[in-house]
């Protein structure tokens, strides 16, 4: 199950030419040892909110796609996830930034308990969340990119036919080698962080 948390897309969607998928942990916010359960634990990565604001300003659709197997494991409840989701939106708003909507996979194929302990098509590296978002948006944006810090983000993008960008924040530095060794999962580009990725994408590099 993919949970769509903000179904109200702005009426401007039909004009949107470009869209960007963002991973959450390690890309937009600091990935912690324990999963983020409270608003006080949300730490935006340096320059990340400004990067989102720059996409917003340029008229790109910004969609968060996050794996949260902590929900399957019972380490984070949906209520806690929702509080963090709202808290993140507030923190972004302080920087005049917003996500157009966000999708979360709460599953894990073998960890945790029912109903979320099961194989699914939405947990990255599966492309389900990206496909669901693209289906929801229809023909616009015409072109999508993804920015993430892990091999599984890039694999999901590749499977969905979306250009992939690796950032070296979060797990990125370690995951870079894994991507470089992979015959199947290659980053289109590698960037220091979300800010650098946004600048490159918005400049069309
Ligand atoms: Mg990540
Ligand atoms: Zn899932």
**Does residue 116 have a pLDDT over 80?**
yes
Write out the residues surrounding ion ligand 1, Cβ under 5 A.
23, 25-26, 149-150
Burial bucket for residue 78 (CB in 10 Å: 0-12, 13-18, 19+): middle
Write out the residues surrounding ion ligand 2, Cβ under 5 A.
105, 107, 120, 122-123
Q: Please tell me the distance between residue 171's alpha carbon and the centre of ligand 1 in angstroms.
A: 7
Residue 28, φ and ψ in degrees, nearest 5: -100, -45
Q: Please tell me the distance between residue 135's alpha carbon and the centre of ligand 1 in angstroms.
A: 23
Q: Please tell me the distance between residue 119's alpha carbon and the centre of ligand 1 in angstroms.
A: 20
Residue 187, classed as helix, strand or coil, is coil
Q: Which of 85, 72, 169, 62 is nearest to 120 (CA)?
A: 72
**Catalytic residue flag (residue 25):** yes
pLDDT value at residue 5:
44
pLDDT value at residue 8:
42
Q: Please tell me the distance between residue 165's alpha carbon and the centre of ligand 1 in angstroms.
A: 12
Average of pLDDT values for 133-150?
A: 95
Report which bound ligand comes closest to the CA of 66. Answer: 1
Domains defined along the chain, listed by start: 15-202 (3.40.50.1000)
Report which bound ligand comes closest to the CA of 174. Answer: 1
Average of pLDDT values for 119-130?
A: 97
Q: Which residues 6+ apart lie within 8 Å of 205 measured at CB?
A: 189
Average of pLDDT values for 80-109?
A: 98
Average of pLDDT values for 93-103?
A: 98
- What are the tens digits of pLDDT across the range 23-71? 999 999 999 999 999 999 999 999 999 999 999 999 999 999 999 999 9
- What are the tens digits of pLDDT across the range 160-193? 999 999 999 999 999 999 988 888 788 899 999 9
**Cα–Cα distance for residue pair 11/135, rounded to 1 Å:** 16
Strands of the sheet with 18-22, listed across from one edge: 3-4, 101-105, 61-67, 18-22, 143-148, 163-167, 189-191
Average of pLDDT values for 124-143?
A: 95
Q: Which residues 6+ apart lie within 8 Å of 49 measured at CB?
A: 91, 92, 94, 95, 97
Residue recorded with tokens 């109903």: 115
pLDDT value at residue 13:
45
Q: In this structure, what token pair is assigned to residue 138?
A: 């229809």
User: Which band of pLDDT confidence, cut at 50, 70 and 90, is reported for residue 16?
Assistant: confident
**How high does pLDDT run on average in the chain?**
92
Selecting among 23, 100, 102, 193, the annotated active-site residue is 23
Average of pLDDT values for 72-100?
A: 97
Contact indicator for 157, 175 with CB cutoff of 8 Å: no
């Amino acid at each position: 199950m993919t949970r769509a948390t903000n179904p109200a897309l702005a009426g401007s969607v039909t004009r949107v030419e470009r869209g960007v998928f963002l991973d959450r942990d390690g890309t937009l916010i600091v990935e912690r040892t324990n999963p983020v359960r409270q608003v006080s634990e949300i730490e935006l990565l340096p320059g990340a909110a400004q990067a989102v604001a720059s996409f917003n300003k340029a008229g790109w659709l910004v969609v968060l796609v996050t794996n949260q197997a902590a929900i399957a494991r019972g380490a984070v409840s949906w209520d806690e996830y929702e509080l963090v989701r709202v808290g993140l939106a507030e923190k972004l708003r302080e920087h005049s930034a917003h996500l157009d909507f966000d999708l979360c996979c709460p599953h894990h194929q073998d960890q945790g308990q029912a109903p979320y302990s099961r194989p699914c098509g939405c947990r990255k590296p599966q492309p389900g969340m990206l496909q669901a978002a693209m289906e929801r948006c229809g023909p616009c944006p015409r072109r999508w990119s993804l920015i993430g810090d892990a091999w599984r983000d890039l694999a999901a993008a590749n499977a969905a036919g979306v250009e992939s960008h690796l950032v070296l924040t979060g797990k990125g530095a370690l995951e870079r080698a894994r991507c470089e060794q992979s015959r199947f999962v290659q980053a289109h580009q590698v960037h220091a962080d979300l800010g650098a990725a946004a600048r490159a994408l918005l400049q069309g590099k």
